[in-house]
Amino acid sequence: MTKRNIFYRMGAKANMDVLKKFISKYAAGDVIYKKGDIQTDFFIINKGKVQLKNDGGGPILATLTKGDFFGEESLNSEQNAIYTVEVIEDAFLIKIPYVSLTEMLKQTPDIALKILKKLSEKHIKIQTMLLEMAAAGAGGARPAVREAKKEDSTSEKIGGEVKAYLIIQRSNRLVQLTKTQTFLGRRDYTTGFVPDIDLTDEDEEKYISRKHAKIQFKDGRFYLSEEPGAINGTFLNGNKLQTGVKHELKAEDEITLCHLNIIFKV
């Protein structure tokens, strides 16, 4: 599947010709802007990677890749940048002035909602990182590490007599289900969260959420449910699931996370 930016993915194909004139190329090491600069543009990463830092030489708050955004300060007049942005991998960025962005959002309000969700996700990451830094500075343990240990300890192993697998069709990877609670999603490089079944390599387009879906084993049966916060949909045999509602899995069922097809085998 061809990688595409958010405006294309949301179905706003008419905007693509408009966006082309806003694409700029940056090389690794370039600083897009520094903390404290007046911010007037909104950026969407079309290719490459950037890092957000508290200042030029400060700790890394987040690493952003294709489909991520930054520069939300531009939505407020004369707003200073709240972090420094540095390119770490040659990048093509869609740099949209405030006036042009507001016109686009008026025409396609569904994109505005998508942007809000993604920005909220990014801000949660940064807040988590800052809290961990504060805890480390005070001699405390990293909150994310404590949470991961707690999660592992509450997930029991399935008895050896139960054999169930997932086949991830894009890579033909086979994964055995060995725990009573298994999360599927993408790893979070900022917080260190890694789901039980890490689909980062198969999900090149970054459509799948960090903690997207869960498979539970209870009373001899497997159940699939979508996790709160999953954005692009979870489907079972083509039927879209409601968040938090469990559905029993049967042999040869097809699970689809956004665009990635997975076959359940027993």
pLDDT over 70 percentage in the chain: 73
User: Residue 121's pLDDT is what?
Assistant: 66
First to last CA, the chain: 29
Contact 236, 214 (CB under 8 A): no
Residue 111: its H or E element:
helix 109-137
Q: At what angle do helices 98-107 and 109-137 cross, to 10 degrees?
A: 120
Q: Where are the domains of the chain?
A: 6-137, 154-265
Mean residue pLDDT of the chain comes to 80
Burial-class residue 132 by CB neighbours within 10 Å (0-12, 13-18, 19+).
buried
Whether residue 9 is predicted with pLDDT greater than 70 in this model: the reply is no
Per-residue pLDDT tens digits for 113-144? 767 766 666 666 666 666 666 666 655 444 44
The arrangement of secondary structure in 154-265, i.e. its CATH architecture, is: Sandwich (2.60)
How would residue 13 be classed by pLDDT, with cut points 50, 70 and 90?
very low
Query: Given the structure tokens 């595409």, which residue do they identify?
Result: 4
Contact 256, 234 (CB under 8 A): yes
Q: What is the rounded average pLDDT of the residues 58-83?
A: 78
Max avg pLDDT among 13-17, 50-54, 194-198? 194-198
**How is residue 224 written in tokens?**
């699939």
Which of 79-83, 130-134, 180-184, 186-190 is predicted least confidently?
Answer: 130-134
Q: CA 117 from chain center: how many Å?
A: 10
Contact 105, 111 (CB under 8 A): yes
User: Residue 22's pLDDT is what?
Assistant: 85
Residues 35 and 52: their CA atoms lie apart, in Å, by 10
Contact 220, 266 (CB under 8 A): no
How would residue 229 be classed by pLDDT, with cut points 50, 70 and 90?
confident
> Computed over its alpha carbons, how large is the radius of gyration of the chain?
20
Q: Which long-range contacts (CB under 8 A, 24 or more apart) does 46-49 make?
A: 46/5, 46/91, 46/92, 46/93, 46/94, 47/3, 47/90, 47/91, 47/92, 48/87, 48/89, 48/90, 48/91, 48/92, 48/93, 49/87, 49/88, 49/89, 49/91
Q: Please report, for residues 162, 176, 218, 226, 236, the alpha-carbon distance to residue 165 in angstroms, rounded to integers and kept in the order given.
A: 10, 4, 16, 18, 16
Report the predicted TM-score, pTM, of the whole model to 2 decimal places: 0.47
The arrangement of secondary structure in 6-137, i.e. its CATH architecture, is: Sandwich (2.60)
